């Protein structure tokens, strides 16, 4: 495992926190690709400060398989690390550093297998999709998927997204739709409250409707016991508004989200909240001030996905991991977009535990990287000529 340690150390040393560029890391991976004959193509974001990287080893005109991981990491600000988060530290079989488990460990395991892939040779290609800004809403992968026909002329048969699952095969995750709501009211002195339009009270009514939807999810289902949270959920996350108790607030903003089971269509709930705001709350506001109102903006949407148990993606993942147990998760991943936008069947499977992600002293175990290596050996054997 010396090679994978060295590769992971190099990847961790790049501070690819989501608000920073990942281009230096991408250039480093491109150099590894070039050494082993991997065809690669950058997919820059509109600013030119970040890029996804697509690579293919083996014949490009034959359907193959995708290994996908994100290069960005969450911030370390305010976290109590016991060592430099951007210097890999080994202790008691663990490798510590920001991104080790989420998910540079998986990327390192993939890059460590390039010599074996190059020597195979491969009858079916193995593709690599390394993305940016997954942590801020699965943004980068969308740019790559827009060009999937160019990047992979023969559409891949399956994608393995290496989020930390303990190498358990995750066959589904929920959708996640994030919203920002802005409520405009009219200020006045609180002693004259009826003359104003209280933006916080209007917001509270909409928030109450979102909470009602969440209660319906919990009470009426549907339910799926393979998820850690077996129902769809709705919740309000942040709220701001008002300046003083004696001033009727003229502005309030809040954020909310829906996370629906893969089989649940989220759009009826989107329409329900918008209709309630427009038809039940706004008329009373506008009767007192025509400029008052409510704006609901969808900030980001990640579709859910579910792979049938008899799909090639699931069957191969079971074979390569040696496991037949499955899970479904409530957090979102790029697998939903890869399946929905890219048209590529997907599963989520990778080394380590999601419980260690985003925390100080994040780590991946060497044994977990070795298990991922065995998974990749199975893929290489499957694709070998």
Catalytic site positions: 72, 134
CA pair distance 204, 108, nearest whole angstrom: 47
Please give the C-alpha separations between residue 372 and each of 164, 306, 328, 378, in angstroms, as whole numbers.
Answer: 10, 22, 20, 10
With the C-alpha atoms ordered 329, 335, 339, 345, is the resulting torsion angle positive or negative? negative
Buried b (16+ CB within 10 A) or exposed e, 95-122: bbbbbbbbbbbbbbbbbbbbeebeebeb
Supply the DSSP string of 333-373, one letter for each residue. -THHHHHHTT---EEE--SSBGGGTTSTT-EEEHHHHHHHH
In whole angstroms, what is the distance from residue 259 CA to residue 275 CA? 20
DSSP characters for 201-234?
HHHHHHHHHHHHHHHHHHHH----TTBSS-S-EE
- Two structure tokens written together for 292: 């008052």
Residue 2 is encoded by which pair of tokens?
Answer: 């010396």
**CA–CA separation, 195 vs 288, rounded Å?**
7
Q: H or E segment at 23?
A: helix 23-35
Q: What is the token pair recorded at 52?
A: 């996804």
- Interatomic CA distance for residues 174 and 6, integer angstroms: 35
In sequence order, which residues have a C-beta less than 8 Å from that of residue 119 and are 6 or more positions away?
A: none
In angstroms and rounded to an integer, the radius of gyration of the C-alpha atoms of the chain is: 24
């Amino acid at each position: 495992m010396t090679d994978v340690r060295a590769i992971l150390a190099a990847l961790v040393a790049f501070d690819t926190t989501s608000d920073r560029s990942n281009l230096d890391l991408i250039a480093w991976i491109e150099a590894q690709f070039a050494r082993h004959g991997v065809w690669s193509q950058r997919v820059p974001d509109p600013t030119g400060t970040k890029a996804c990287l697509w690579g293919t080893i083996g014949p490009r005109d034959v359907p193959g398989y995708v290994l996908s991981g994100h290069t960005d990491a969450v911030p370390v600000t305010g976290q109590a690390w016991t060592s430099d988060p951007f210097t890999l530290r080994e202790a008691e079989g663990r490798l510590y550093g920001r991104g080790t488990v989420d998910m540079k460990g998986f990327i390192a395991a993939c890059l460590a297998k390039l010599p074996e892939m190059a020597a195979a040779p491969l009858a079916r290609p193995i593709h690599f999709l390394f993305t940016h800004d997954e942590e801020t809403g699965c943004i980068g992968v969308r740019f790559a998927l827009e060009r999937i026909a160019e990047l992979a002329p023969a559409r891949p048969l399956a994608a393995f997204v290496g989020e930390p699952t303990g190498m358990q095969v995750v066959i589904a995750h929920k959708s996640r739709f994030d919203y920002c709501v802005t409520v405009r009211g009219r200020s006045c002195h609180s002693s004259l409250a009826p003359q104003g339009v209280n933006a916080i009270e209007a917001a509270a009514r909409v928030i109450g409707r979102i909470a009602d939807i969440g209660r319906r999810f919990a009470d009426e289902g549907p339910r799926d016991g393979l998820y850690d949270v077996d129902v769809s959920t709705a919740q309000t996350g942040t709220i701001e508004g008002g300046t003083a108790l004696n001033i009727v607030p003229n502005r309030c903003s809040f954020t909310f989200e829906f996370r629906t089971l893969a089989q649940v269509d989220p759009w009826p709930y989107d329409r329900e909240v918008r209709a309630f705001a427009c038809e039940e709350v706004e008329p009373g506001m506008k009767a007192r001030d025509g400029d008052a109102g409510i704006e609901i903006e969808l900030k980001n949407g990640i579709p859910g996905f579910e792979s049938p148990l008899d799909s090639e993606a699931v069957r191969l993942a079971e074979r390569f991991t040696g496991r037949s147990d499955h899970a479904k998760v409530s957090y979102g991943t790029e697998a939903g977009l890869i399946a929905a936008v890219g048209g590529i069947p997907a599963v989520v499977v990778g080394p380590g535990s999601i419980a260690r992600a985003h925390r100080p002293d994040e780590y991946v175990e060497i044994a977990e990287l070795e298990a991922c290596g065995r998974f990749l050996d199975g893929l290489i054997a499957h694709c070998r000529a």
